[in-house]
Structure 1
């Protein structure tokens, strides 16, 4: 156990591209230290260490978990490996920051979270934007009555995803597909805005190489609330969200990550269409996420919110995946 003011020492399990961003965030975050980079091939770990920094490069993820001075791990591996390495990390007493989607399905996610809880370690998935000051400012608008009763959440996330043989997002066995990968963020937007889980969902999708590469979804919540979104690998980059109430709406055209880091903003419109632009502090959202994770670990009081919202996100994605295949409205289980 580290002293209260000692940095939380991280190991990264895998040298994926996202590991570069989060690795820098660990280095920049208050109270965090990047100690170990692990790869299945030592040469890759050494190269990563040389270019991006870490105290130690090791061969194999197990070797990273054997390091006695590691407090937490970041798992940037494909979804098919999340369960195995979350459980092994938790059993080794390491707190777990794991990329999204949490798992291949909610059954796996429940097992992962149960092992984390049993071993007294924090679990958090890698959904970054809810940890930012802008997210907190938007939450205040949603909760202070400015928009009246909230009724709708509409969002979109699309990108151009290159179709290459080694792209795991096009490989079903590795957890590929637009709903798993980028629809996850739109689902989180609805859970975040309504502070609730939908009862039923519907999705329509097109498929490529066995995975959904474009999808449109509807989520039904209690009290006459509805969310909808589209996501896809075959459209221009979009990452916007609108939350609609009975007397106003909130719009953020880049809620997933700011187009311009110096202009982190959103708009509130009243019922007459008069818009107020609200500026937020310029921050790096990856760093905000790491700092949020570190604060929980240092508090020695595990947060139940982050594992639960991650599981709820997975439950909704599971139902959407079934609906996209069956063409039916599905219950969220």
Structure 2
């Protein structure tokens, strides 16, 4: 067995993960790594050893997990195969490029970068060094997502998609709106657009098979804080070839929502928890096909069908499992990195950039 391989308790060789940065979301990923059958958490690094040790104690990590007082120490450890990077967005380009140069596969928290130019630097470093890239859009790995795509792809049943609507909102308290890194222009300048809007943009692209819209336009309801960081915004999208349209709304100022509604010529799909399911072990969505108003328009001719999809592991663990599977194929069998995941991230970033540009230009339409 190679030095950087490890036997999981289930006797499967695993990919050793390092976590760089101890943000709150890193607790969720530490758990996910422990649940994935082909991954193990090997090291945690923070800006000080005390912070790394505090994180390890908080999460209940075993003494076998190494703690480091700098990010470089994690990346310099030859036994670390892959890293999860949940740092502020402004730090992504530097540390992601360094990680790739150290031959570490990369799970990068979203938004991936401040703009597509920065993301291109990251993706080029990953390509040059032959490492796998993936962003932290965990909902894409849930089996419900696969089931919804299966229905969307059957044009005989669903028909032509013509409208997609997505929201990702949360009501944050004054402390968050004043001090959280996601409202600081030097740390996460994209604000709600980058944090919650990433999911919405990803969802409308996913529904349209990642065809880029021809026109992107932010609506003039955008709210910013005193530092100019977006707290809430809405945007519309148009695909000229297919005549599809979409709308997103993302916000730190509205009650929690994670809606995805997709309308086709014959059917529709709706999920109100598409980013984080209400339950870990299963998820629901509504599917309607052939629905019409009843006589006199006093009701409907049918109720939506409730489709339940079981899930053996949390979606975050499924995401880790997929990255580890790809990393293991590269490491053991000489496979090439899967280009699907960087392509998804780059298209999402391009559309996000267009929304931001529309806001900056006074809500003018942007052509892609």
Q: Report the TM-score range of the alignment, normalised by the length of the smaller protein.
A: over 0.9
Partner of 2:348: 313
| SS of aligned partner of 2:158 | coil
How does 1:117-266 map onto structure 2 within 5 Å? 117-145=127-155, 146-164=157-175, 165-176=178-189, 177-195=191-209, 196-204=211-219, 205-209=222-226, 210-221=228-239, 222-266=241-285
| SS of aligned partner of 1:101 | coil
Q: TM-score, normalised by structure 1?
A: 0.96
| SS of aligned partner of 2:179 | coil
Query: Offset at 1:263?
Result: 4.5
Partner of 1:330: 366
What is the number of residues matched between the two proteins? 332
Judge conservation of contact 2:161–2:263 (CA < 8 Å) in 1. Answer: yes
CA distance in 1, matches of 2:343, 2:282: 32
In structure 2, relative to structure 1, the CA distance for the partners of 1:262 and 1:123 (3 Å cut) is closer
Query: Offset at 1:187?
Result: 0.3
CA distance in 2, matches of 1:72, 1:321: 31
* Counterpart among 326, 329, 342 of residue 296 in structure 1: 326
Q: What do the CA deviations read for 1:291-320 (whole angstroms, capped 9, x no partner)?
A: 111111122231101001101100100010
* Counterpart among 290, 305, 308 of residue 279 in structure 1: 308
Query: Offset at 1:234?
Result: 0.6
Query: Offset at 1:200?
Result: 1.5
CA distance in 2, matches of 1:115, 1:81: 15
Partner of 2:117: 107
CA distance in 2, matches of 1:171, 1:48: 23
Partner of 1:73: 83
Judge conservation of contact 2:5–2:15 (CA < 8 Å) in 1. Answer: no
Query: Offset at 1:262?
Result: 4.5
| SS of aligned partner of 2:245 | strand
Q: Gapped runs of 5+ residues in structure 2?
A: 7-11, 293-301
CA distance in 2, matches of 1:43, 1:309: 37
Q: What do the CA deviations read for 1:209-268 (whole angstroms, capped 9, x no partner)?
A: 311111111011231011111111111000010111001101111101112335511111
- Is 1:89 equivalent to 2:99 in the alignment? yes
After superposition, the CA RMSD in angstroms is 1.4
In structure 2, relative to structure 1, the CA distance for the partners of 1:68 and 1:263 (3 Å cut) is closer
Q: What do the CA deviations read for 1:168-222 (whole angstroms, capped 9, x no partner)?
A: 1111221241111101100000111101111220113111131111111101123
Judge conservation of contact 1:266–1:278 (CA < 8 Å) in 2. Answer: yes
| SS of aligned partner of 1:19 | helix
Query: Offset at 1:163?
Result: 3.6
* Counterpart among 1, 23, 30 of residue 30 in structure 2: 23
| SS of aligned partner of 2:117 | helix
Judge conservation of contact 2:14–2:38 (CA < 8 Å) in 1. Answer: yes
Larger Rg: 2
Query: Offset at 1:284?
Result: 1.0
CA distance in 2, matches of 1:31, 1:69: 15
Give the stretch that moved more between structures: 13-22 or 1-10: 1-10
